[in-house]
Amino acid sequence: MNRAVLVTHKIVTCLVLIACMAGLATADDSFSRLKLSRAGVGTPLPSFELSTIDGKTIEFSQLHGKVVVLNFWATWCGPCKEEMPALDRLSRQFDPRDVAILTITTEHERTGIQQFMKQFHSTLPVLLDEQRDVTLAFMVRGLPTTVFIAKNGTVAGRAVGPREWDGPDAIGFIQHLCEIAP
């Protein structure tokens, strides 16, 4: 009888490991299909505070325990215009208590920023990085750049250029990040 229990335990353990590996493979597949970069992965989120276009202040320390998607963009950026509607739709796929999707711009012309967001019917928060501190901290060199932050506050991946952010790969990648304990 003990041998049967031991064999059953080994089989169950193997099945659990296979299921876990399948979950990791799915997340890794999404990572690959989205063409995310591992540059900076594991780096802690820098501590910073930015104002929104509405005058509110967002401190990154408030976001600990959430998956955070940071999208760096500009009103003059053609690819940014291409992906903004998908980011807005993506934001509606997740509970804001679990996932924060924030847009960051270094531009100073608030009227132009507001018109841009209105043109794309976007309700995403716009953070103003007028001194470029956050943009430099994340080594943003091209626009759009999207950075994923895991619930533990570390970089989980980044993309330069537009993506289909409301597609199944992006949703699956974010769901995977949500499932990982902080």
Q: Where are the domains of the chain?
A: 34-179
Section 137-149 average pLDDT = 95
pTM, full prediction: 0.84
Phi (first) and psi of residue 130, to 5 degrees: -65, -25
pLDDT at 32: 85
Q: 119-129, pLDDT tens digit by residue?
A: 999 999 999 99
pLDDT at 24 over 80: no
Q: 90-109, pLDDT tens digit by residue?
A: 999 999 999 999 999 999 99
In the structure, what pLDDT confidence band is assigned to residue 37 with cuts at 50, 70 and 90? Answer: confident
Within 10 angstroms of residue 17's Cβ, the number of other Cβ atoms is: 10
pLDDT at 147 over 70: yes
The superfamily (CATH) of domain 34-179 is Glutaredoxin (3.40.30.10)
pLDDT at 11 over 90: no
Choosing from 14, 20, 77, 178, the catalytic residue is 77
pLDDT at 1: 54
Burial class (CB in 10 A: 0-12, 13-18, 19+), 123: exposed
In the structure, what pLDDT confidence band is assigned to residue 16 with cuts at 50, 70 and 90? Answer: very low
* Position with higher pLDDT, 53 vs 18: 53
80 is catalytic: yes
Q: 48-62, pLDDT tens digit by residue?
A: 999 999 999 999 999
* Position with higher pLDDT, 21 vs 99: 99
Rounded to whole angstroms, how far apart are CA atoms 127 and 61?
15
pLDDT at 76: 96
- 44 cis-preceded (ω within 30 degrees of 0): no
The overall average pLDDT reported for the chain is 87
Residue 130 · residue 109 · CB < 8 Å: no
